[in-house]
Structure 1
């Protein structure tokens, strides 16, 4: 039997009729992170809580990156939180189902600036006509990017390359955007060598999508304990009435699934009043890597944010999505599809906080665990606070288990304080339904083909929500190859 755990609280809600989105201080050098000495005049909390392993990683990250006056506020902010943040264990509720010992047992080495030979391998991208920015091991690579044709006032690139004092001042107002996240959020703040900025001025609408391509070039070979870590960080600011579509694609290992590395990424997005952001996120990193990602969203009045995610890579992959609606009439949509294979953990931790009237949110999470040693985790929290009256929030998670002993842990959660709301959630964990297989077999389709068709169609509901047809086709072919590598080879011959 497959291992299954589902926790669904009992709440009073009104079912939602559908699951579709409606149209409609001074900067100073950060000190080294060291435990504070204990004296008979001082109290012990910080020193007692300091984790030597965490501080060792933080200090090595600090030593590996150049100083940056504009990033000192972020680094100082992150350093302070690390002083009292231990390495997470299974005893901590947010990591109860997610084992991070793979990282802790490795030799963690900060990645330096990418060598030239790694750049030579990345000159074969075939989408040079698309607006794109290439980021290798957290460093912006302008020579491998294509940003010509951006509208006036739009900036995409490194923070240090902004030539407008007004834009720089505006961007720094939102750095950092949110309250401290977990340990990994803070490690990124300490170790990020650069800040990628996407700035869209008021009323500006960018045609097409901006493609952010992340590549991990350094890695340990199979059997090695070395785990190079990179900390890419992106800040997106879209002013009132602006619109932008962003595609984040994480790749690595030059196609080698056995290369070991750790990508520890953060994206923060500020969406102004009546602005719209479409966010596509694709993660296909090495199957021997660790991929931990934070996406923090702040939405102002009448704004819209739509996330479509497909994650298939990483030995350990965890995505933390935090959305804060800070204005009324705000729309949030999260659609995610995870595929977990041999010795893989795919983890999604999401939180949507609604604080104002007439907020709207929809979340659809789907995952397939295709191997007996695969694991999937979903922890989704929607919080409707007292003043968020007339809120309409829906959450649905569905998991497909294809092998015995495969593991899925789901924890959907609705916290409702307001009394005039329409909220719903649901969770389902199962294998393929026998009646669906029978239906296809009754029409002359053999069992093997019927299973393949149903498995592929399970994730198609999310893949079809990508805004670009080329992107949908690319992701669909990738998923089919992972689910049926032998069939993919036969079809390509």
Structure 2
């Protein structure tokens, strides 16, 4: 595979040509910010140079790359000294050679570059400018995405068959030490008023020892009384970095349901931001994270309710079976002043199956409105002895009892996938990871 290599060694504060043009001259402080992190600057240059310059690049994509370039100029690479990443070590990405990956246009069903409708192109441009919940990885995706997959569902259209977006890693080659290939898939979903659609994102893997970095972004705008059911499955290599942004804007009376199961990656991080923009809005989030090796599974979520009679439920579960594995949950639900008669609930439950396994959870429910029904809770434990004794009293050995209880713990989330074939596939994957010697077909 051809690509531009980014070496972790001997980094110098080289400023890309486009970035040089953007550097302000009036402020010394601003100039210093441009060179605050040589690694980020060189990464930006690598990503910009890896993309072909074409006058036919759609204006929204051009504007997105330009805005992302500006954002990167003053953004340092996150370390564990930064509070949002206190429990997430990303140093192994920084210490690797980054080789951008550009998938062929054929894998993007509905590429923005192939869009021929000027009015829809103008709408896409307007909607893209309304997403402001960036961090460094959002900006990296924006500057490096080779195209943007657009899923557009017109008003009152019900799509009967699910749309399945399947992401595969770069073609496996003999890995070079400290080298990672980087891909930046980006999706924009527009579900117009009264429309319904199911979308599945699956990030799979062919080689559990293949190092690479997937840096994905998913944006959705759900119109009035529209419905988006979103399934997200992540089973990437145990040597990979998987970082995902999901940002959703919901109009009044709309419904967004997310079911997520993540078990891959040396680092798997999902940044999830949802904003309810009207009354009678429904948001349901169900997540299962599994760490069976030296892995970090991380969910940072934010849900903002600003209008009356909103409804939300968030269920987060994680299982850590390795002494060096960890899970992170930082969930924030904000019920603002005008979100009266809101019904919001948040629950996080964690199973730690090794003495030195780690979980860091911070459920957070901020309530400003005074006429609400809200609750949240957190539980961290091993399996309860009373449950094991119940099985033993009925002649079931303790190892079998533990397997059954662990599968049942995760099954509550898996059962929420709307598609039976996805449920069966995920059950088989989880059982194989938790019990490699078992026959997954018996689950």
TM-score by length of 2: 0.91
Q: Does 1:82 align with 2:72?
A: yes
Q: Does 1:247 align with 2:200?
A: yes
Offset at residue 38 of structure 1 (A): 8.4
Decide whether the 8 Å contact of 1:221 with 1:260 is kept in 2: no
Q: Structure 1 CA distance, aligned partners of 2:31 and 2:111?
A: 35
Give 1:351-370 correspondences, 5 Å limit. 351-370=302-321
Q: Structure 1 CA distance, aligned partners of 2:164 and 2:442?
A: 29
Offset at residue 163 of structure 1 (A): 2.6
Q: Does 1:72 align with 2:62?
A: yes
Give 1:67-466 correspondences, 5 Å limit. 67=53, 68-70=57-59, 71-111=61-101, 113=102, 137=103, 139-141=104-106, 156-218=109-171, 221=174, 224-252=177-205, 255-466=206-417
Decide whether the 8 Å contact of 1:218 with 1:228 is kept in 2: no
Q: What whole-Å deviation, never above 9, does each CA across 1:175-206 have from its counterpart, x for those lacking one?
A: 24411411000000001010000000011010
Q: Structure 2 CA distance, aligned partners of 1:302 and 1:90?
A: 40
Higher relative contact order at CA 8 Å, sep ≥6: structure 1 or structure 2? 1
Decide whether the 8 Å contact of 2:80 with 2:86 is kept in 1: yes
Moved more, 312-321 or 60-69: 60-69
Offset at residue 76 of structure 1 (A): 1.4
Decide whether the 8 Å contact of 1:353 with 1:383 is kept in 2: yes
Q: Structure 2 CA distance, aligned partners of 1:322 and 1:180?
A: 7
Q: Structure 1 CA distance, aligned partners of 2:297 and 2:27?
A: 43
Q: 1:268 to 1:414 in 2, by over 3 A?
A: same
Q: 1:218 to 1:61 in 2, by over 3 A?
A: farther
Offset at residue 110 of structure 1 (A): 1.3
Match of 1:42 among 27, 46, 61: 27
Offset at residue 214 of structure 1 (A): 0.7
Offset at residue 166 of structure 1 (A): 2.5
Q: Structure 1 CA distance, aligned partners of 2:302 and 2:165?
A: 24
SS class of match (2:396): coil
Query: What are the ranges of 5 or more consecutive residues in structure 2 without an aligned counterpart?
Result: 1-15
Show the counterpart of 1:488: 439
Decide whether the 8 Å contact of 1:197 with 1:235 is kept in 2: yes
Q: 1:215 to 1:421 in 2, by over 3 A?
A: same
Decide whether the 8 Å contact of 2:133 with 2:247 is kept in 1: no
Decide whether the 8 Å contact of 2:133 with 2:273 is kept in 1: no
SS class of match (1:157): coil
Residue correspondences, number: 423
TM-score by length of 1: 0.82
Q: Structure 1 CA distance, aligned partners of 2:98 and 2:342?
A: 45
- Runs of 4 or more off by more than 6 Å in structure 1? 35-39, 489-492
Show the counterpart of 1:60: 46
Q: Structure 1 CA distance, aligned partners of 2:313 and 2:17?
A: 43
Q: Structure 2 CA distance, aligned partners of 1:438 and 1:482?
A: 25
Decide whether the 8 Å contact of 2:166 with 2:203 is kept in 1: yes
Q: Structure 1 CA distance, aligned partners of 2:376 and 2:58?
A: 46
Q: Structure 2 CA distance, aligned partners of 1:76 and 1:335?
A: 35
Q: 1:358 to 1:38 in 2, by over 3 A?
A: closer
Q: What whole-Å deviation, never above 9, does each CA across 1:314-338 have from its counterpart, x for those lacking one?
A: 0111000100111111000000001
Q: Structure 1 CA distance, aligned partners of 2:441 and 2:369?
A: 56
What is the CA RMSD across the aligned residues, in angstroms? 2.0
SS class of match (1:208): coil
Query: What are the ranges of 5 or more consecutive residues in structure 1 without an aligned counterpart?
Result: 1-29, 114-136, 146-155
